[in-house]
Structure 1
């Protein structure tokens, strides 16, 4: 963790939202380093920014509230990255492939956030329905492949869930058992797309 910045004075009017954003950004960085939200404290976040802990409590009632905000931000970032990758692909199969590859590589590159996003007890204590959005968009991408005759007709929601479960498993095993002789994640994702969705990849 970095050295705390010097303590600063009170925010001028209208800067409260900017401080909230800085708190969330700092929490995201620390969570990615820690890989365990139970190890995060509001005081540690305040110390990193160089503010009093009471300033954090003005924006977040407790640690769960801050972790939830960080989870929602990281999920939104992942959704946006997957959307952009799919849009750039130009065809349904390429779009699905790009979307799932982003899901896999993001989770692999942000191992700490991945663990928090999927393994935190905050998932049981708080409303995390925002996480359904990524699944809905992946299901829509699978459906587009089926509609174009590029994948066998099936229940797109069930196929999408199988695919996401498999990709999450592949990432989780890499995160928790990094010393196994893993092949490149992209190759495994391509194989899962072929076997579970039935698309043909170049």
Structure 2
């Protein structure tokens, strides 16, 4: 938090959406630091942006509405980044592996946002339907591996669920118990692909 933020000049007409985006970005930053949606205050967000707290309420009725907007934007950005990571290769296994590895790396960099996105009280009270997109895209990535004959795990939705459960469990444990002697996450994800996805080790970790 920047306690010395200078007051923000009044937005010109038509710049309301820019201010809203700045408020959402500030909320994301603070949520990543706090790792707790209940610890976030509208006043703290206003200070981060350099505006009066009343300006935040013009765009968001309450804290829950702001946190939801911040998480939806976070998820939207994550989906785009995952798609870029996946598209770096034409090989279906490499694309699925890149997706899962990127997710693990993102959580390592943003453990606070991860906790709020998946473990917060708001998450427990709200369906957050926007998260379904990530689920569907992971299932599609698994289906491409099955269609190419590179995975033998069975139904794409079942394999996707198993993989997501394993990866989320692995990263959540690291976020909540960081001092335990965890093995390298990348190696663990590769084992998930082999054991849960039915992908040959050589396809997951090609030589050279």
Q: Report the counterpart of residue 179 of structure 1 in structure 2.
A: 179
Q: Show CA shifts across 1:41-63 (max 9, x none).
A: 11110011111101000101100
Q: Report the counterpart of residue 89 of structure 1 in structure 2.
A: 89
Counterpart check, 1:168 vs 2:165: no
Q: 1:4 to 1:69 in 2, by over 3 A?
A: farther
Alignment map for 1:27-176 (pairs within 5 Å): 27-152=27-152, 154-176=154-176
2-side partners of 1:8 and 1:157: how far apart?
48
| Residue 123 (structure 1) shift | 2.1
- Indicate the SS of the match to 2:183: coil
| Residue 89 (structure 1) shift | 1.6
2-side partners of 1:48 and 1:25: how far apart?
10
Number of residue pairs the alignment of both structures matches: 202
| Residue 199 (structure 1) shift | 1.1
When the two structures are superposed, what TM-score results if normalisation uses the length of structure 1?
0.96
Contact 1:107 1:114 in 2 (8 A): yes
Contact 2:116 2:123 in 1 (8 A): no
When the two structures are superposed, what TM-score results if normalisation uses the length of structure 2?
0.94
Contact 2:37 2:67 in 1 (8 A): yes
Q: Which runs of 5+ in 1 are unaligned?
A: none
Q: Report the counterpart of residue 10 of structure 1 in structure 2.
A: 10
| Residue 127 (structure 1) shift | 4.2
Counterpart check, 1:23 vs 2:23: yes
2-side partners of 1:88 and 1:8: how far apart?
40
1-side partners of 2:157 and 2:56: how far apart?
40
2-side partners of 1:199 and 1:69: how far apart?
37
1-side partners of 2:4 and 2:197: how far apart?
48
| Residue 153 (structure 1) shift | 5.6
2-side partners of 1:14 and 1:123: how far apart?
33
Q: Which runs of 5+ in 2 are unaligned?
A: none
Contact 1:4 1:49 in 2 (8 A): no
